[in-house]
Structure 1
Amino acid sequence: MPPLPQPDPFWEIRVHEPNRDKGVSGLCVGYEQGQWRYSAFADYIMEWLPEFCLNSKERDELSHESAVKSLRKAANLVYQTDKYAKRGEFGEFFLHAAVRCVFDSLPAISKLFYESSMNNTVKGFDCVHVVGPLNDLELWLGEVKFYKRVSKAIRDVVSEIGEHLETNFLRKEFILIGNKLNEQDSYTAAVQKLISERTSLDKIFKRICIPVLLTYESNAVEQHTAVTEEYNREFCDEINHHFETFRKKAANLPQVRIHLFLFPLEDKERLITALHEKLKAWQKI
């Protein structure tokens, strides 16, 4: 499968352990002139907006001439969905960008396109991506918690993963996913075969990864104003500590590969404000 073009890298991946069972990546935004990089990160996330919002056919038709119109459409699509306009739930943007840039995935379904009707999101996974060649394809079904407290994020996401890996839930999700795939995409036949009701979940679990992205307001981030050796050490120690907590909490989940993205923040509300400002600007271009 040919790779999709990506925005230039932004996150510093300060911890990265892509283990086959449970892996972890620690995502760092860094600082600029003594400030956490709210505006620069919001700009970066906005560059993912068309890919996140548009379906594969619309992405394929994106050209230099249509770019402005498509960007405006993408921004308006976000604000037609209550959870973004009213509650600022931008975590799915972060998850999409993290899986794409760290594992070079392809989005199988646009999350907004995946909604059953306006403001009525399908109660399922927060991203549906594919990773790897067609003869060794993996289906990545993501979960995200855009939280302030890491302990609550870990508790809630482990519970949700358990619910989403139950047989009845998965079979219903696979039907919804199958119905939303674009027949023209190169990976569609492979995904359809993998998630077929004829395929045992035991076999499917070997080809699934659950990417999980958790945000939280971080002591390490808050206590520094520049990337130094001390900051890097404290950042990595914090990531490894929370990863170990997650591993213990997730020990009783079904045997499926999980990759945890930990994204420490300075202030969640300030980040939401920066994202809203960028989106409103994009609506007017």
Structure 2
Amino acid sequence: MIVDDTSITPTLSGICAGFESGEWRAQQFARRLFKDIIDFALSHSERQEFDSETGMEMIGRAVRKIYTSEKYTSRGEFGELLLHVVLREVFRTQVAVSKIYFKDASNDTVKGFDAVHIVEQGDALELWLGEVKFYNELTRAIRDVRQELHDHLDADYLRHEFMAIEGKVDKTWKHAPTLQRMLHEDVSLDEIFDNITIPVLLTYDSRAVDDRVTQLRSNPNESPSVTAQQYRAAFEAEVRKGWDKFVASGLPPRVRIRLILVPLHFKAALIKALHERLMSWQQATA
């Protein structure tokens, strides 16, 4: 994480996958995301059964939950996987409900928030309801997520979503009773709002990242420390400009939002790497 500013509202995080041998780490990034595939795609009960005997079968079950279609370029599951990994690794959340687990069929899409996680706050729980736009253009990502934020934070929509979450929480999970009590229809939305965080993760093809790749390719012998400092400055300036656009778009009131920007070299290259890894795992566990 290059940018981590909690002094502003909404808070801002800027994350980069890094570089290797003059290239942005698309393949390495894809490999890292797939390390969390079990946690992302299976229920709490299933995850407890994972061991050396059941491992390959459960990995196969998890990777087939994502999708099995060759038409992958406009699908949203990899964005949800990215959001999941960032929340778990950066913010130390726990999965409350695996949205992917409840797909009726592998190529279906799941409506609602893109992640349902919690953070323990002493004896209480903070509910993290994530939104992600895995896009190649930031302005479009901001426009679309702004609309979803307003739609998903409507009182009627929230009540419907809370009922769905209550019904999907794995009863063997230790926090299940607390979360179900928190979301019960008898609890005022005003009270629930005090314990909700909305992490919003947006990706886009980045000029700062592209300039860094060009610089590394054309000047392989240049001092890494100097060029890294230049890149960090350009990266931070770019994501802060993105934060300005996000805030100016008109955000819903009362809700606590965390903006997470993940500038990419090219989304198309990353999604191709993710798709190839998914197909490889599906074939290996067939």
Same fold (TM over 0.5): yes
Note the alpha carbon deviations across 1:67-113, whole angstroms, 9 max, x for none.
22211221122124x69746342100110001111111011111212
**Closer/same/farther in 2, CA of residues 168 and 84 from structure 1, 3 Å limit:** farther
Q: Is 1:258 equivalent to 2:245 in the alignment?
A: no
Stretches of structure 1 that go unaligned for 5 or more consecutive residues are 1-12
Contact preservation (8 Å) 2:11, 2:257: yes
Q: Is 1:277 equivalent to 2:265 in the alignment?
A: no
Moved more, 19-28 or 224-233: 19-28
Contact preservation (8 Å) 1:76, 1:283: yes
Shift of 1:64: 2.4
Moved more, 235-244 or 65-74: 65-74
- 1:21-40 equivalent positions in 2, closer than 5 A: 21-40=9-28
Measure, in 1, the Cα distance between the counterparts of 2:41 and 2:212. 35
Contact preservation (8 Å) 1:134, 1:190: no
**Greater gyration radius:** 2
**Counterpart in the other structure of 1:217:** 205
Note the alpha carbon deviations across 1:8-65, whole angstroms, 9 max, x for none.
xxxxx00112358511110111110001111100100110111111111111111122
Measure, in 2, the Cα distance between the counterparts of 1:161 and 1:202. 17
- 1:12-51 equivalent positions in 2, closer than 5 A: 13-18=1-6, 21-51=9-39
What is the RMSD of the two structures over their aligned residues, measured on CA atoms? Answer: 1.9
Measure, in 2, the Cα distance between the counterparts of 1:234 and 1:17. 16
- 1:5-16 equivalent positions in 2, closer than 5 A: 13-16=1-4
Measure, in 1, the Cα distance between the counterparts of 2:124 and 2:117. 14
* Identical-pair percentage: 39
**Counterpart in the other structure of 2:219:** none
The count of corresponding residues between Structure 1 and Structure 2 is 271
Contact preservation (8 Å) 1:78, 1:85: no
**Counterpart in the other structure of 1:4:** none
Measure, in 1, the Cα distance between the counterparts of 2:245 and 2:72. 33
Q: Is 1:151 equivalent to 2:151 in the alignment?
A: no
1:93 paired residue among 70, 81, 103: 81
Measure, in 1, the Cα distance between the counterparts of 2:104 and 2:189. 25
Stretches of structure 2 that go unaligned for 5 or more consecutive residues are 217-226
Moved more, 52-61 or 64-73: 64-73
**Closer/same/farther in 2, CA of residues 130 and 71 from structure 1, 3 Å limit:** same
**Counterpart in the other structure of 1:160:** 148
**Counterpart in the other structure of 2:222:** none
Measure, in 2, the Cα distance between the counterparts of 1:206 and 1:187. 18
Q: Is 1:230 equivalent to 2:230 in the alignment?
A: yes
Moved more, 85-94 or 24-33: 85-94
**Closer/same/farther in 2, CA of residues 143 and 43 from structure 1, 3 Å limit:** same
| Runs of 4+ with deviation above 4 angstroms | 82-86, 116-120
